[in-house]
Each structure stands twice: as structure tokens, then as C-alpha cells.
Amino acid sequence: MKGLWLYGLLTALLSCPVLAAPAQEAQTLFRMTGSNTIGAELAPRLVKGYLQSLDATGIEQRSDGERHWISARLAGNAVEVPIVALGSSTGFKALDKNSADIGMASRRIKPKEVKMLERFGDLTGAAAEHVIGLDALVVAVHPDNPISQLTLAQLAQIYSGEIRNWRQLGGADLPIQPLHRDTESGTRATFDGEVFGGGRPAARGVREVSGNAETERLVQERRGAIGYLPYADADGVKKVAIKAGNLAAVVPDSGIIATEDFPLTRRLYLYRNPGEHKPHVDAFLHFVESGPGQQLVADTGFINLTPVALKMTPYPNAPESYRALMESGRRLSISFRFTDGSAELDNRALKDLRRLEHYMEGSGQQLDLTLVGFSDRKSNDNIADLISRFRALKVQGALLRDHQLGDSHILALGAFAPLTANREHAPVKNSRVEVWIQ
């Protein structure tokens, strides 16, 4: 009897499939948390591109809602990069809790977040803050809605509940159904900042949505709906032209977004702990800012930071010298800006100096370079003119000193062509230096 039992057990064991050896636990190269705009598609593409640049094999992605895992084999070892895309604010919270190495944000870090993370160092400094691309918020309505343009002031009235019917704007007699992103969203923070000058609770009748896909679906389905979407996600919607200040109403395209002249343009950021050195974090950020990384930014539908030459329509009220430049020259997609309206170039501008040097070197021809300075409005025109000239000279000096680019011309236009009348944003947006080539 015992022999039969042993025989049966042996037969059963032999018939069972051979158990595989336990899978090797994957090494986490780094962790990314934050913006859904970046994390939904761009971050996974960038991580895959980085792994490919290291000759990794078997690169795969698995996803569960807003969480993604990129896995591969690198030098024979299993590696993984987790990505959690639940909103820009969550990225800074994850940095604070050390549950992420890179925070993704579709807006700049807020002062309270800088304070929260100050034990790590200056999160607004060049070692921590990396601008990786540009986006714009596209205002969208139902395809049958006849409204084709709105001012920023009208958007504010719609989202504050002052304007509740499309008839008040020349449209159909139809209640307006505004769609707003959730409060954790950097997309919402950008919209509130540009339209209201800062964050504010949603007005009664405004529907808060959880993501860009829901916004797109609802503006397609509901005749009274209005919402806003990242430029990369707005291919299939009816876009509304937006007017700010004295500038013409425009529907955003890649050119005006690249110059950051469109009122709802925003930068896409990656933040890291500046006091912590992690080789793969450093190498990944370098890859993202390189040519191949910037190509992936463009392939995902965003606007990359590689300079391109743009032919611009001259402003009818432009000063003669500027009008002549607009007619005969081309504007590069670089606009140098300054930290919080100060005299110091901001973090994007510091790297744009190098990008401009590479563009000039790679052009294959002798180009005349003109730096056009602008300032915010001041108490009198003479002060505005002096400040705009100083800003252009600041860029000229940096190009000559650090990048051996001399012989550039200076044109100072004072407070001409302000991009915004918003008091909070005017010192940064209006104080700029354009780059023109001939």
C-alpha cells in the first residue's frame, strides 16, 4: 500500500510542469511622480528613449490608470522606472516624502513648495529646475458652437459665473457648461494664473473633471460645454482664438507657442533634489535636454526647445526699425527671459544661450544677429527704453563672454507690444529679448 502511495506521488511530481526559478527583482533606476500632462505619454517615451540610448533590451511598458512602469534589461540586469501621473502638486509632495526622484510639473514650482523643500537646496535653481518643453492651453468648444474667439476677460467671466449663456457672447441661447480641471492639476494652475491671476475655487455651475480625456469627450458631446486642453491633446476639437491685451486673437500654433507669446503658453518642468547626486537621474535629465530627447518631446505633440526660424507678420503699429526687421528677417523661437523680472537670465535662458550657439554654428552660413529688448511698462518711456536696452545688452554680454558669439546688433523697444496686462505676470512675460536673424 505504501509502495503504491510513493509510486503515485512520484508519478504526480513527474507530471507537474517544472517550476521556473524566481524572477530577478528589478532595480529601480529612478522614480517619477507628478503632472498627468507629462506623465501620460511624454515621460514614458522619454524613459524608453533613455533606456535605448544605454543599449537596454526588452523595453516594455505596463500601465494601470495613471501609473506606468517601464521595464528593461540593462547590462544583463532587470531594471524598472515607475511613473505616477496624478497632478503637478503630487510631484512636489513626493519629492518631500522621498517617494520620487523626479517631480513632473506643467507649471512652475510655487513659493510654498519652494519653502517646503528648502532643506534640499534651491528648487528654483538651475541644478533643480529643468525646462524640457513647451505647451499651451487650447480653449475648446462643441463643434456646432459658432463662437470663434474670446478675450481673457471673457474667459474669466465665464469661469466666475458672470456670463452663463452663450447668447451673451453672440452665440446660441444655450447655458454655458464650463469644464475645469481638479485642484491638483498644473493645467488648472496655469489656467487660473493666466485668467484670474492666481488660484481660486470653482464657481457654482463649473464642473471639475479628472483629466484631459474627460474634457475632450465632454466638449465633443455637450453643445454648451467649454474647456481647456494641452496643445498636444487638442487635435480633434474646435479651438477658440484667444485675445490678450492689444495683441490680435490667435489660435495657438507651434510657432507662437515656441516664442512663448501666446497668453496661455506654459513650460513643462522636471524637478530634482539639488542636494542629491544620482547618476541615472543626472544622465536622464541630460538625455531629455539633448537633441534626441527634444525630438521625443516634439514627437509626443509638445513644442521642443530646439531653435527654429519663423517668418513673422509685421505689426502695423510697429516702430519703423522693428517693422523693417520683421519684413526682412526671421525670428528664432528663442525668447530670453529673466528670473521673476530681475536682471538675471532664467533657467531656460541659460541653456538657450548654448542652443543659440549651436544653431549659429550649424547654419552653414554667415548670419546677422539682432537682439530686440522689451520691458514692462514703467513710470515713463525713457526708463522703459533704458531697461529694454539693458536686457538686450545682458544677453549680448553672455553670448560674447561664454559662447564667443559677437557682432550682434541691439534694438531697444521699451514697453512696445506687451504680452499681458496681468500685473503679476507682466514683469516676467513682457520683459524679454527676442532673437532675429538676417
* pLDDT tens readout for residues 306-329: 999 999 988 888 999 999 999 999
Flag whether 6 is in a domain.
no
Task: For residues 248 and 279, state if they share a domain.
Answer: no
pLDDT higher at 419 or 251 = 251
Q: What is the pLDDT of residue 406?
A: 76
Q: What is the pLDDT of residue 205?
A: 84
Q: Which domain holds residue 146?
A: 136-254
Enclosing H/E stretch for 393: helix 381-403
* CATH for 372: 3.30.1330.60
* 31: amino acid identity, one letter: R
Q: What is the pLDDT of residue 263?
A: 86
Task: For residues 338 and 418, state if they share a domain.
Answer: yes
Task: For residues 127 and 148, state if they share a domain.
Answer: no
**Range from 8-12, 83-87, 293-297, 315-319 carrying the lowest mean pLDDT:** 8-12
Q: What single string gives the DSSP state of each residue in 405-424? A: ----EEEE-TT-S-S---TT
Q: What is the pLDDT of residue 424?
A: 67
Task: For residues 425 and 316, state if they share a domain.
Answer: yes
Task: For residues 345 and 197, state if they share a domain.
Answer: no
Task: For residues 313 and 410, state if they share a domain.
Answer: yes
Task: For residues 146 and 67, state if they share a domain.
Answer: no
Task: For residues 311 and 424, state if they share a domain.
Answer: yes
Task: For residues 68 and 43, state if they share a domain.
Answer: yes
Flag whether 262 is in a domain.
no
* Mean pLDDT along residues 162-184: 94
Joined together, the cell numbers standing for residue 122 give 534651491
* CATH for 202: 3.40.190.10
Q: What is the pLDDT of residue 380?
A: 84
Burial (CB count within 10 angstroms: exposed 0-12, middle 13-18, buried 19+), residue 91 = buried
Task: For residues 174 and 90, state if they share a domain.
Answer: no
Beta-bridge mates of residue 141: 226, 238
* Mean pLDDT along residues 295-308: 96
Task: For residues 274 and 237, state if they share a domain.
Answer: no
Task: For residues 126 and 140, state if they share a domain.
Answer: no
Q: What is the pLDDT of residue 334?
A: 94
How many domains, in total, are found in the chain? 3
Flag whether 43 is in a domain.
yes
Q: Give which of 318, 337, 187 is closest to 261, Cα–Cα.
A: 337
